[in-house]
Structure 1
Amino acid sequence: MTVLIGITDIEQAAELVAGHVVRTPTVPSPGLSTLLGAPTTVKLELLQRTGSFKARGATARLLSLSEAERAAGVVAVSGGNHGIALAVMAAALDVKATVVMPRSAPARSVEIVESAGATLRLTDDMGGAFSLVNRLRDEGLTLVHPFDDPMVVAGQGTVGLEFAEDAGDLTDVLVSVGGGGLIAGVAAALRARRPGLRIWGVETEGAEAMSRALAAGGPIPVDLSSIVSTLSAPSVSQLTYNHVSALVTEVLVVSDREAVQGTLDLADHAKVWAEPAAGCLLPAARRVLEQVGDGARLGLVVCGGNATTADVMLWSQRFGLR
C-alpha cells in the first residue's frame, strides 16, 4: 500500500518552520492574466528566504534533527537552490553543512553557498554529485535529500497550504518538477484543501525524470542535458513518484528555449525576476488552457529567482531571444 504525505504532516511542518521562513505573497497577476487570456494568480516563492521554496523543506528537516545528527553535520546535493537553502538555513540554526554541486551550477549559487560558511564540493556532473553525497552520508554526515525525504516534502507542502488559504477560486495549478519534492508536497496539500483542483507538473527537455518515470511505471535513471540545473535530477524518488502518479493530472515538458522565454515574459508581464525553472510554467500554462478550454482560472507556483541577469542574457543570446 502506498502511503502519501498527509495534510496533518504538512500542517505540523508549517508550525515547525513558522518564524524561520516567509509566508510569501499570493497575488492575482493582471499582466499574466492578459498575456495568457485567463485569470492567473501567482504564489511568489522567489521572495522566500534564499530565493526559492527550498528553504521550507531544508528548515523542516534541520529542525527535526536529533542531537547526534546535529553534531555530525549535514550534507546535501544540489543544482543550486537546495544547496543555497541548506547552507543558509544551517548557518542560521548553527548546524555544520556540506553541499555537493555540479560544476554547471550557477556561479551565483556557488558563491552564496560558500559565503554562508558551508563546505562546498564540486563534481563534473549531477550524477557524480549524487554519488559523492552518498559516500559522504556513508561516512557519517546526515543527508538532507532535496526530494527523497518525507520531512522535506512536508516542508515544501507548506507552499500548497498557503496557496489554498490565500488564493481565490482556481481550477488549475502549475508546479515545476525537478526531483518532485515541491509538486509532491503542494499536490498533497491542495488535494486535501481543494479536492477539485487539477494539478499540472512542468519539466524541461533534458530534465524529464518524472515524465519518464510515469511512462515507465516507476523511477528510472535519465540522461540530463537541460540548461535548467535546478530541475535536473538524475531520477525522481519512489516517494515523489507515488504522489505525482496519484495526485497530478499530467506532467508537461517544454523546451529550454521556451523556459527562458518564460523568464523574460515573467519579467515583462508579471514584473518579477524568476529563473527558467519558473519560466517554464508559462508555455505549459498555454497548453493547459488549450486542453481544459474556457473557464480556467490558473495558479502558478513561481518557485525561485536565483538566476542572475547575466545568466538570462547569456541564455537569451544562445536561443536568439529578445
Structure 2
Amino acid sequence: MVIAGDGGGDRRRARHPHRKADDVAGITGLTDIAAIEAAAERIAGHVVRTPTVPSPGLTALLGAPVTAKLELLQRTGSFKARGAAAKLLSLSEADRAAGVVAVSGGNHGIGVAVMAAALDVKATVVMPRSAPARSVETVEAAGATVRLMDDMDGAFALMSRLRDEGLTLVHPYDDPVVVAAQGTVGLELADDAGELTDVLVSIGGGGLIAGVAAALRARRPGVRIWGVETAGAEAMSEALAAGGPVPVALSSIVTTLSAPSVSRLTYDHVSELVTEVLVVSDAEAVGGTLDLAEHAKVWAEPAAGCLLPAARRVVERVGEGVRLGLVVCGGNATTADVMSWAGRFGVGIR
C-alpha cells in the first residue's frame, strides 16, 4: 500500500478510502456527525464562519475547478480557535480555575491564548524556540504565559509535567472535543461548497483532518480526502507505515505541522477515512504559499501552501472531472519569514 509521494521514503496509504458513511458511523472511537454538530452549536458566537469561495486564480493555475475554505480568516488567523474555544467552554469551574496548559508550534498556542483571554481563563503555552517570533509575541500579547523549550519534544515533555502539576490540558489534537470542533470546518465546507470530488487538508498532529474527514464522510460520503504533510514533519505518514503512532524526527521549517507523533485518535480517523497522505518538500510548501498569494490573492502560511503542490498530484492522479476543495488552514506567517524561506530554497511564483 505505497503512497505516490515525492519519491522519498516509504509512504503508506490509508486503508479504507471508500467506506460508506453508514459503515464509518459504526467504527468505535471515530467522531460522529452529532458530536460535530454539537460542537458547532457550542462555539457559535465565539468563532467565525469563514468563507468558502470558488477561486478563479487557482482554477486557472491547476487546470481544474478549485474551491477554497478560507480558514486563515478565522479568529486568531487559523482553524485552531475552534478547538480551543470548544475545549475551554467544556471545562468545569474547577478546571477553569486551575488554569490551562497547551503546547504549540504557533497556531494552537495563539488560539488557546486568545480564547482563554476572552473566557477569563489563565493560560500557559509551551513552545519550541523554533516557533515563529510573531507567534510567540501574539501569545504573550494575549496575556498567556509562554514557556520556551529547545525543541518540540521538550515542549511536549514540559506540557505533560505542567498537566501533572494541576493545569488542565488543552491538547492540540489528542482530544475528542477538539477533533469534533475542528470538524466544524468540514461541516461548513460540506454546506457551502458546490460539487467536489477531492478535498485536501494539511496534517500536523491530525486534529483538523480527523474532524474534517468525519464531517465530510457523513455529509458527502463520495468525496475523497487527501492529507498533506511536509518532509521532516511526517508523523502521520510514519504512523500509517508502522500501523500506529510512532515518534518521529522533526526537521521541517513548518513548525505548525511539526508534531512529534500523531495520537491514536487521529491515526484511527485517518487510517479509516482518508484516501492517502501525500508528502511535499519545504521548498514546495513555500512555493505554494507564494502561489496562493499570487493566484488566490490570500496570504497563507506554508502549512497551507503545501496544499498546492499536493493538489497538482491529485489532479494528475484523478484526471478528468476532478473538482478540488482546499482547506486553507492558516495565515500566521510574516512576509519577512516567507521571503527568507523563498530565498533559502530559491523558489518563486509560478
User: Which TM-score band (shorter chain)?
Assistant: over 0.9
**Aligned residue number for residue 202 of structure 1:** 228
Work out whether 1:162 is the aligned partner of 2:188.
Answer: yes
**How is 1:39-58 mapped onto 2 (pairs within 5 angstroms)?**
39-58=65-84
Secondary structure at the counterpart of residue 102 of structure 2? strand
One-letter amino acid of the structure 2 residue matched with residue 165 of structure 1: D
**Aligned residue number for residue 133 of structure 1:** 159
Structure 1: gaps spanning 5 or more residues: none
Work out whether 1:33 is the aligned partner of 2:59.
Answer: yes
- Give the Cα–Cα distance (whole angstroms) in 1 for the partners of residues 145 and 307 of structure 2: 33
Deviation at 1:254, TM superposition (A): 0.1
Work out whether 1:287 is the aligned partner of 2:291.
Answer: no
Deviation at 1:158, TM superposition (A): 0.3
Work out whether 1:251 is the aligned partner of 2:243.
Answer: no
Deviation at 1:293, TM superposition (A): 1.1
**Aligned residue number for residue 123 of structure 1:** 149
One-letter amino acid of the structure 2 residue matched with residue 11 of structure 1: E
One-letter amino acid of the structure 1 residue matched with residue 344 of structure 2: R
Deviation at 1:193, TM superposition (A): 0.2
- Give the Cα–Cα distance (whole angstroms) in 1 for the partners of residues 347 and 223 of structure 2: 34
Deviation at 1:321, TM superposition (A): 1.8
- Give the Cα–Cα distance (whole angstroms) in 2 for the partners of residues 251 and 268 of structure 1: 26
Aligned equivalent of 2:299, options 273, 283, 291: 273
Deviation at 1:289, TM superposition (A): 1.0
Aligned equivalent of 2:198, options 163, 166, 172: 172
One-letter amino acid of the structure 2 residue matched with residue 36 of structure 1: L
What are the superposed Cα offsets for residues 206-250 of structure 1, whole Å, 9 maximum, x if unpaired? 000001100110000000000000000000000000000000000
- Give the Cα–Cα distance (whole angstroms) in 1 for the partners of residues 346 and 68 of structure 2: 28
One-letter amino acid of the structure 1 residue matched with residue 43 of structure 2: V
Work out whether 1:77 is the aligned partner of 2:103.
Answer: yes
Work out whether 1:192 is the aligned partner of 2:221.
Answer: no
**Aligned residue number for residue 233 of structure 1:** 259
What are the superposed Cα offsets for residues 12-43 of structure 1, whole Å, 9 maximum, x if unpaired? 00000000000000000000000000000000
One-letter amino acid of the structure 2 residue matched with residue 60 of structure 1: A
Deviates further, 172-181 or 289-298? 289-298
Secondary structure at the counterpart of residue 29 of structure 2? coil
Q: Aligned-residue CA RMSD in angstroms? A: 0.5
Secondary structure at the counterpart of residue 148 of structure 2? strand
- Give the Cα–Cα distance (whole angstroms) in 2 for the partners of residues 234 and 183 of structure 1: 17
Identical-residue share of aligned pairs (%): 83
Deviation at 1:2, TM superposition (A): 3.4
- Give the Cα–Cα distance (whole angstroms) in 2 for the partners of residues 65 and 159 of structure 1: 22
Secondary structure at the counterpart of residue 279 of structure 2? strand
Deviation at 1:196, TM superposition (A): 0.2
- Give the Cα–Cα distance (whole angstroms) in 2 for the partners of residues 271 and 44 of structure 1: 11
Question: Runs of 4 or more off by more than 4 Å in structure 1?
Answer: none
What are the superposed Cα offsets for residues 61-108 of structure 1, whole Å, 9 maximum, x if unpaired? 000000110010000000000000000000000000000000000000
Number of equivalenced pairs: 322
Structure 2: gaps spanning 5 or more residues: 1-26
One-letter amino acid of the structure 1 residue matched with residue 228 of structure 2: V
- Give the Cα–Cα distance (whole angstroms) in 2 for the partners of residues 291 and 203 of structure 1: 18
